[in-house]
Structure 1
């Protein structure tokens, strides 16, 4: 698994925290110093925490489990959606739908509604509607796509969440806590790292910082997925050998 050096993290501006007056005291162990009224994150600790998170994500995805990525802030959404799509993981980048986890059944109903509209368009039922009805259905489909399009294939609750900015995504954090779903997150100096299971101390506002963390995390997930694929091929080959052995005995 590709590790990120302290220099690489430094070049990406991962060390820049928030103004000192906006800090959360629970981030003290991860703060290196204060400079010009801004807290500087200890990148040696970031590197260690990032590696720990990556190892856990690699192990998780190698057993076929899904990670839901969450980032609705402007500077993070495009980066997160790009990397989540690369590893075929679900993501929320528009708006966190309240009850996304705690009321998952209702969310699934909304996804089914979206799929039902798609079916109407395929089988010709849509064309039999009036112009006004078609307009209403199209608007409804567009809204559902915007909010839920990226999770339409998620048939069960995710095994973990990866969040950029836990202050901004506090509802997602609370829902995951209620259901004991582990949370991985980029945690800036204004956040409480105790809120999540795998805190990665990092600047969660700058695009370069978000990019390098997302890149590293998805590399680990890719390795986990590759391991799973290799194990499936191995199991398939073993089954074929057994079948061949049984047929020869007969």
Structure 2
């Protein structure tokens, strides 16, 4: 793991929420309170992040598929970029109920999206009446907005990385219901008991989120390289 404690401090990874907003279950990960703000114990953050990164490398080396979920506006582009960089999938606009638990229906919608993209690429829309073509383009754009990051996902993911537990609580519930392993970045107002693997850290600050995503991406890529090497040796 390339990250240092100094980088973590500079990124504000230790800055939690006001003490009055805390979740008591996060007590083991809180170092102290300063100016009514809880400060996260970065030693524990480092330990948990190291464990998660090793888990991601091992999982990716075995061909496991990973879905990133985070719809906070400030981080949505970064989440998409990270997922694409490590050949993974993402949801960064809105979690639609049943994205995992109603996967068969969602999968059909992703196939519909890909079909519309093929039709547009072949210029078939140009042969249709303007109104009909406009409706198809609108439909394609809507599907792409919500499902674009999952359109090449053929089966349910093995692991879901969640950025923003409160915002993505429905995604987390679906993971728990289906037994899909979840990894959550948890701020001081979150609940560590409902996620499989956690990284206690500031989940609002862009520098903090960026640093964590960089580590996740690097770890996944390492695992994928191992997987590809093993596959080529067969």
Contact 1:6/1:47, CA 8 A, preserved across alignment: yes
Specify whether residues 129 and 183 from structure 1 end up closer, same or farther in structure 2 by C-alpha distance, changes over 3 A only: same
Note the alpha carbon deviations across 1:52-71, whole angstroms, 9 max, x for none. 10111111111111110001
**After superposition, where does 1:222-241 map in structure 2 within 5 Å?**
222-235=221-234
1:10 maps to 9
State how 1:49-88 maps to structure 2 within 5 Å: 49-88=48-87
Corresponding residue of 1:27? 26
Q: Shift in Å at residue 211 of structure 1?
A: 0.7
The TM-score, its normalising length taken from structure 2, stands at 0.97
* Alpha-carbon distance between aligned partners in 2 of 1:199 and 1:122, rounded to the nearest angstrom: 42
Contact 1:3 1:51 in 2 (8 A): no
C-alpha distance after superposition, 1:117-146 (max 9, x if no partner)? 233335554333211111111100110111
CA distance in 2, matches of 1:141, 1:224: 34
**Structure 1 residue runs without a partner (length 5+):** 236-250
Aligned match of 1:127: 126
Are the aligned partners of 1:183 and 1:196 in contact in 2 as well (CA < 8 Å)?
Answer: yes
Q: What are structure 2's unaligned runs of at least 5 residues? A: none
Taking a change above 3 Å as real, the CA distance of residues 6 and 122 of structure 1, as seen in their structure-2 partners, is closer
Question: In the TM superposition, what whole-angstrom CA distance separates every residue of 1:176-199 from its partner, at most 9, and x where no partner exists?
Answer: 000010100110000001110111
Size of the aligned set, in residue pairs, is 234
- TM-score, normalised with respect to structure 1: 0.91
Q: 1:44-193 residue pairs with structure 2 within 5 A? A: 44-123=43-122, 125-193=124-192
DSSP 3-state at the match of 2:74: helix
3-state SS in 2 of match to 1:74: coil
Instruction: Please list the CA deviations of residues 202-243 of structure 1 after superposition, one character each: whole Å capped at 9, or x if unmatched.
Output: 0000000001111111111111011111112222xxxxxxxx
Measure, in 2, the Cα distance between the counterparts of 1:114 and 1:153: 10
Q: Distance in 2 between matches of 1:84 and 1:122?
A: 24
Partner of 1:201: 200
